[in-house]
Amino acid sequence: MLNNLLRLGSTALVCGVLASAAHADKLQDVLDRGHLIAGTGSTNAPWHFMNESNELVGFDVDMLRLIAKGLFDDPDAIEFINQSGDARIPNLATDKVDVTCQFMTVTAGRAQQVEFTVPYYREGVGLMMMADGDYADYEALKAAGSGVTVSVLQNVYAEDMVHAALPEAKVDQYDSVDLIYQALNSGRADAAATDQSSLSWFMKQNPDRYADAGYGWNPQTYSCAVKPGDQRWLNFVNSVLHEAMTGVEFNTYAASFEGWFGVKLDPPKIGFPIEFK
């Protein structure tokens, strides 16, 4: 009885594996379907959020639209699956999405569960100050030693994170992003420390009010991710992202980058490919 069950189970397993092997051509599946099913969130500006017209926008969304454009020559041939951060890996594993671009930090642990594409952004922690404040830049903050107060999101590592850049600074922890900005506005803090992308976006929203201290640390890489085991699909998404940063879609990528982070990118140097420099 048990043997029969085991045999039945293993037959089903083999059939399943064969079936999935025969079907492991995501690129063709997506082309046949006629639109891309893309996973991303909806609650993190400037990555993926609802604008005032209630449309999903952001840098992640632009990357996904580039993939749709590469597939169908139509950046709108896309269906967004709204997912929380926790749902990124399960939704790939259960084929609920074709690809996920959701400010996903590349780690060795995650790389065992999904396949990461080439990176499309390097995140880090930055320091934002009032434009008319007492300190000119990072060097001035560092020189002021314990006279400086830094507001930061509450976290187990918050103190260590700030001290990695400003060893003597006083650290004030707050519950939410709006409160760390509020602390800066009200003069309770001399600088706010959080993700560089959040700071860039906030400074772009409030031009001339704030200044970037010009120092970034704690690097982490953001990549899109696909379900493991389909090299052709991974290659395709890689090609799209790579050419967005270095090739034919550079202008689209650069416009998006400037739109969300307020930074104008220099076009890649013509001639010898920069990747091999």
Q: Which residues bind another protein (CB under 8 A)?
A: 42-45, 49-52, 54, 81-84, 86-87, 90, 94-96, 175-179, 181
Min separation Cβ 228 and another protein, Å? 16
Cβ neighbours, 10 Å, residue 274: 11
Q: Is residue 68 a contact partner of residue 75, using CB atoms and an 8 Å limit?
A: yes
Q: Residue 90 CB, nearest distance to another protein (Å)?
A: 5
For residues 106 and 112, give the distance between their C-alpha atoms in angstroms, rounded to a whole number. 11
Tell me the closest approach of the beta carbon of residue 176 to another protein, in angstroms.
Answer: 4
Host H or E run for residue 232: helix 231-246
Q: Kind of pairing, strands 36-40 and 43-44? A: unpaired
**Residues ≥6 apart with Cβ < 8 Å to 73:** none
Token duo for residue 36: 């891309």
Name which of 77 and 81 has its Cβ closer to another protein: 81
Q: How far is the CB of 173 from another protein (least distance, A)?
A: 15
DSSP state of 85: G
Beta carbon of residue 178, minimum distance to another protein (angstroms, whole number): 4
Q: How far apart are CA 75 and CA 62, in angstroms?
A: 9
Pairing status of strand 115-130 against strand 191-195: antiparallel
Closest among 215, 233, 214 to 225, alpha carbons compared: 233
Coil/strand/helix, residue 27? helix
Residue 2 CB, shortest distance to another protein, in Å, is: 22
Q: Hey, what are 202's tokens?
A: 């906030």
Between 84 and 231, CB nearer to another protein: 84
Whose structure tokens read 């449309």? 55
In angstroms, the CA 65 to CA 78 distance is 7
Whichever of 73 and 175 has its CB closer to another protein, that residue is 175
Instruction: Compute the least distance from the CB of residue 203 to another protein, in Å.
Output: 13
Q: Token match 């918050």: residue?
A: 158
33 vs 163, beta carbon nearer another protein: 33
In the complex with another protein, the residue whose CB is nearer, 79 or 168, is 79
Residue with Cβ nearer another protein (50 or 140): 50
Shortest spacing between CB 73 and another protein, in angstroms: 28
What gap in Å lies between CA 151 and CA 27, rounded to an integer?
46
Toward another protein, which CB reaches closer, 191 or 240?
A: 191
Nearer to another protein, 44 or 135 (CB): 44
